[in-house]
Structure 1
Amino acid sequence: MSDKVAVVGVEPRGHTGTDTDDAAGAELDRRIVLATQGGLPLVARPYAAVAETLGVAEGLVRERLAAMLADGRIRRIGAVPNHYAIGYTANGMSVWDIDADVIDAVGERVGGLDFVTHCYRRPRHLPDWPYNLFAMVHAASREAALERVDEIAARIAAEFPGACRGRDVLFSSGILKKTGLRIGG
């Protein structure tokens, strides 16, 4: 596995049964999730490799994964990069105290920025934690990350005057284990 990608795989939502298929289909879906939840094989045709492991056709694996994505049994199939390995060593979670009347619009705008990798709303925990919007930025230096946070602040101020009452940036000091829900075999 490359040191630049930690996991490319399936993240289940928390259940592996199916409402639409028979027991054999449900069992195949479970086997596919088990085979992919730790990461897809880093080969030219990962679905073919999974299919070979499971003893089924590649098209069937693709079809079953698409169905599980469509009905919400799995949340996503995606890459989880190791930001440090690709040169982004200043990883800052910017936190924002945004007026509740515009937080959804602000979150959509901030989350759409190409340098923001995650953006989500969280409840405040007053009086100690007034922040309700979180946006992760990655950069090669703390200064560059802070410039990106300043850019976010400028955009919020221009598009949503008075909506931001405060902000901060929390920098990571190491890599945390990145995994989704795992089901047992």
Structure 2
Amino acid sequence: MSVSTCPSRSALNRDEQHRDAQGLDAADRAIVLATQAGLPLVPDPWGAVGREVGMSGAEVLERMQAMQARGVVRRVAAVPNHYRLGYVANGMTVWDVDDAHVARLGREVAAIEGVSHCYRRPRHLPHWPYNLFAMLHGRSREEVERQAAVLCERLGEACRDHRILYSSRILKKTGLRLAGSRPGAAWTEPERRG
């Protein structure tokens, strides 16, 4: 499991003094650079970040909370590695749901245990009739198919068709990253991620 901090892409208050184009002062920017790849997995992560950027853990936490309140940081969350937890069958289920019912049914599907993502997407007729997507995770394809059967039952007659698209490989997922070096880092070039 890693702990991720995710900078927000929302518009920032450009009127505050001493803030750069991203709406960060030097101390906030140092904190974002030190945490954007994740918090250290130690008993006092805020203290560890504080030592890296030259401030107390309490000050780091206070600044992170202020950045979150301003919308600069969207969230701080634990991100479990579901593969290491044994959930190796990952299926994006796609559903052709009657547009008159998709909003209500989408909310119901999103609340079902085992659904990690659920969202509406536009159809691309005639080749892609699916407008509701729900990600399922299981220890086997059979488990994902049982979960999909529960979804199908919930969608009822409003659902005309569905498919399960299984993951074939893991893609590295990251949030927005600021260019620059971590405080105290040995490199001077901006970090490059692919």
What TM-score range do you get, normalising by the shorter chain?
0.7 to 0.9
CA separation in 2, counterparts of 1:100 and 1:74?
Answer: 34
Structure 2 partner of 1:125: 124
CA separation in 1, counterparts of 2:78 and 2:15?
Answer: 28
Alpha-carbon contact 1:118-1:135 (below 8 Å) kept: yes
Deviation of the 1:148 alpha carbon: 0.4
Deviation of the 1:16 alpha carbon: 8.8
Alignment of 1:68-107 (within 5 A): 68-107=67-106
Deviation of the 1:74 alpha carbon: 2.1
TM-score, normalisation: structure 2: 0.82
Bigger mean CA offset, 62-71 vs 14-23: 14-23
Aligned length: 176
Structure 2 partner of 1:143: 142
- Check if 1:45 corresponds to 2:44: yes
Deviation of the 1:37 alpha carbon: 0.9
Report the 3-state secondary structure (helix = DSSP H, G, I; strand = E; otherwise coil) of the residue aligned with 1:32. Answer: helix
Select the structure of larger CA radius of gyration: 2
Deviation of the 1:27 alpha carbon: 2.3
Q: Percent identity?
A: 48
TM-score, normalisation: structure 1: 0.85
Amino acid across the alignment from 2:160: R
Q: 1:166 to 1:18 in 2, by over 3 A?
A: same
Report the 3-state secondary structure (helix = DSSP H, G, I; strand = E; otherwise coil) of the residue aligned with 2:126. Answer: coil
Amino acid across the alignment from 2:4: G
Deviation of the 1:171 alpha carbon: 0.5
Q: 1:98 to 1:72 in 2, by over 3 A?
A: farther
CA separation in 2, counterparts of 1:148 and 1:136?
Answer: 10
Alignment of 1:14-25 (within 5 A): 14=9, 18-19=13-14, 21-23=16-18
Alpha-carbon contact 1:16-1:26 (below 8 Å) kept: no
CA separation in 2, counterparts of 1:31 and 1:128?
Answer: 48
Structure 1 partner of 2:184: none
Deviation of the 1:54 alpha carbon: 1.0
Structure 2 partner of 1:173: 168
CA separation in 1, counterparts of 2:147 and 2:18?
Answer: 50
Q: 1:75 to 1:103 in 2, by over 3 A?
A: farther
